[in-house]
Amino acid sequence: MELPAIVALADQHGRKATLAAVRAAVERIRARGAGAPARETSVESLVQEIGSILAGTPRRLRRVVNGTGVVIHTNLGRAPVAAIAASRAVELAASYSNLELDLATGRRGDRQSLLVDLLCRMTGAEAAMVVNNGAAAVLLGLAALCPRREVVVSRGEAIEIGGGFRIPEILRLSGARLVEVGTTNRTRVSDYLEACSDRTAAFLRVHQSNFRMEGFVQRPAVAELARAAHERGVLLLEDVGSGLVPPPTPAGAAEDRLSASSAAGVDLIFSSGDKLLGASQAGLVMGRGPLVEKMRRHPLARALRPDKLQLAVLEETLLCYEAPGRLAEIPVWRMLNSSPGELRARAERWALTLTARGVDAEVVPLEGAVGGGTTPGPALPSHGVLITTAQPGAARRLLLRGDPPVLCLERATGVAVDARCVLPEEEGVLLSALSAAFGGAA
C-alpha cells in the first residue's frame, strides 16, 4: 500500500477499494501458484494486476440492453427518456440553475411554479404541482385534504400495485379513513352516495394498474361520479396511474387521458411521469387551484418535492408532446408505435449479421407488453431473433454478465431478443454481445 504506484491508484479509486484489490490480487497469485514450485512475482506485475482489478470494477448502476419487449420495465428503470431531455438534465446537473430563483426580481422563487403553465395548458387543469413520484402525489393529496376524515373507495379499486403499494395502507398513512363500497366486480354510483356522511371528505377513483376485470362488471363513468360527489359536497380525487396526454399510442388508447379527467370534473388528478408519459420519475398533481395550494403548503410537500433533474426531463418531454413533429423523440412513444412489420425488418437485419458471424440465429414472432403497471391490456405483437443453444438458462446468465448486460427471453430451444425495446444506438453492442456469447466473431 505504500508503493508509489499503489498510492497513485488509491488517490484515483479510494484507499478501501485499492486495499481490497491488493488482497484480491495476492489471492489470485497464491491460487495460480498452488501446487506448483514457488516463483517470484515482480512488483510491476503485481501493480498491473491490482490496476486491472480496479479498472474492471463495474459501476453499481449500469446501462442494460432491454431485449424483453416490455417497454416500461420497472426493474430496468421504467421508461428511457428522450435524448434531448437527458441532455438538458446533464446541462443543469453540471451547473447552477434558477431552480428556486425568480429571475425577474432576483429574489427567492418556487420550483413548483416552473412547470405549472405547461401542465395546465396540456391538461386543461386550473393548477398543478410536481412531486417525487405517483405514490407520493396520492399520499400528499390525501394527507392535505382528508386528514381524520373518510374517503370512499370501490372494493374493486382498493388495490395493490408493484412494490407493495396498497391503497388501504396509503390511506391509513395519510390519516384518512377508508370506507369500501360495492363489490369486487361491481360498484355503482348509488354505493358511493349511500356511504356518504358528514365525515366524508372525498370519493377516490383508482386506476386498476396491473389487472383488469371482464364479464359481469360495473364501474361508474368518471363524469357521473364527479356529479354525484359534487351534489353531496365532497371531492372527487382520481389516481389515473400512468399519465397520458394526447395523442394516445395504440397500446395506451384505452387509458384515461389527463385532459379527459379534468374535463369530466375531477377535483384533483394524480399521475406518474415515468410511465406512458415517458419522462422522469415524478408525480403530477393537477386540479382546482385552492386544493393544489393546500397541498403545496402541507409539511409533506417539502419531503416529497422533485429535484432539478426530474424537472428538467419532465419539462423537455412535455415540450415534445406539445409539438407533434417531436413525438418521435420520446423513446416510449416510438417503441409503442413500432409496427410488427418494422420490428420484423429490424430482426431480419440482426439475423443476417449474426448468421454471417457464425451464430445460429433466426427471426421469430414474439409478444411484448407495455409494462410498468400502466395497462394490463393485450400483448404487443413483435419480432426478434432466437439464438439456438442447448443451455438457454446458462446463456441468459452469460448475457447478463456482459458489458453492457443484455436482458433476453429464455425459451426451450434458446434465448430470444425482442426488437421493440432495443434503442437504435444499442444495436452494435447488442450484436457484438450475442456474437461473443455464442461463438461468433464480434
Work out the average pLDDT over 243-271. Answer: 72
Angle between helices 83-93 and 308-322 (to 10 degrees): 150
d(CA 436, CA 442): 5
Least confident of 4-18, 46-60, 155-169, 273-287: 155-169
Single out the residue of 112, 124, 105, 209 nearest to residue 165, CA to CA.
209
| Tens digits of residue pLDDT in 49-75 | 999 899 887 788 999 999 999 998 989
Report residue 317 as a C-alpha cell: 418531454
Q: What is the pLDDT of residue 253?
A: 47
Sort 42 into a burial class: Cβ within 10 Å, 0-12 / 13-18 / 19+: exposed
Give the pLDDT confidence score for residue 31 in this predicted structure.
84
Whole-number pLDDT of residue 21: 93
On whether the CB atoms of residues 286 and 258 are closer than 8 A, the answer is yes
Q: Is 230's pLDDT higher than 90?
A: yes
27-47 mean pLDDT: 75
Residue 254 DSSP symbol = T
Within a 10 A sphere around the Cβ of 246, how many other Cβ atoms? Answer: 11
Cell numbers given for 278 = 415517458
Q: Say whether 371 sits in a helix, a strand or coil.
A: coil
Determine the average pLDDT of the residues in 15-30: 91
> Higher model confidence: residue 122 or residue 195?
195
Please tell me the least confidently modeled range out of 57-61, 82-86, 143-147, 180-184: 57-61
What is the model's pLDDT at position 69? 94
Pair 306, 277: CB distance under 8 Å: no
The model's pTM is: 0.86
For each of the domains in the chain, give its residue range(s) and CATH number, in order of start: 4-55 (no CATH), 65-75+335-437 (3.90.1150.180), 82-329 (3.40.640.10)
- Overall average pLDDT of the 191-210 stretch: 90
Evaluate whether 73 touches 276 at the Cβ level (below 8 Å): no
pLDDT interval class at 288 (50, 70, 90): very high
The whole-number pLDDT of residue 282 equals 93
Q: What is the 3-state secondary structure (H, E, C) of 190-218?
A: HHHHHHCCCCEEEEEEECCCCCCCCCCCE
The single-letter DSSP state of residue 81 is P
Q: How confident is the model at residue 245 (pLDDT cuts 50, 70, 90)?
A: low
Per-residue pLDDT, averaged over 142-152, amounts to: 96
Other C-beta atoms within 10 Å of 376: how many?
Answer: 14
pLDDT at 251: 52
Q: Residue 439: its pLDDT value, please?
A: 79
Average of per-residue pLDDT values in the chain: 89
Cα distances from 102 to residues 110, 112, 113, 413, in angstroms, run: 8, 12, 10, 61
55 Cβ contact partners less than 8 Å away, ≥ 6 residues apart: none
Q: 192: pLDDT confidence band, cut at 50, 70 and 90?
A: very high
Using the predicted structure, report yes or no on whether residue 38 has a pLDDT greater than 60.
Answer: no
Is the pLDDT at 415 greater than 50? The verdict is yes
At residue 44, the pLDDT reads 86
Please tell me whether the peptide bond between 404 and the residue prior to it is cis, using omega within 30 degrees of 0.
yes
Least confident residue range of 41-45, 228-232, 302-306: 41-45
Q: How far apart are CA 319 and CA 285, in angstroms?
A: 18
* Cα angle for residues 262, 265, 269 (degrees, 5° grid): 45
Report the amino acid identity of residue 30: R
Q: What is the pLDDT of residues 148-168, one digit of tens each?
A: 999 999 998 888 766 667 888
Output phi, psi for 279, to 5 deg.
-110, -155
Q: What is the pLDDT of residue 371?
A: 81
- Across the range 395-414, mean pLDDT stands at 94
Q: Compute the average pLDDT of residues 322-346.
A: 92
- By DSSP bridging, strand 235-239 and strand 268-272 are parallel
**Grid-cell match 449474426, residue found:** 354
- The CA–CA distances, whole Å, from 202 to 227, 369, 417 equal 13, 34, 47
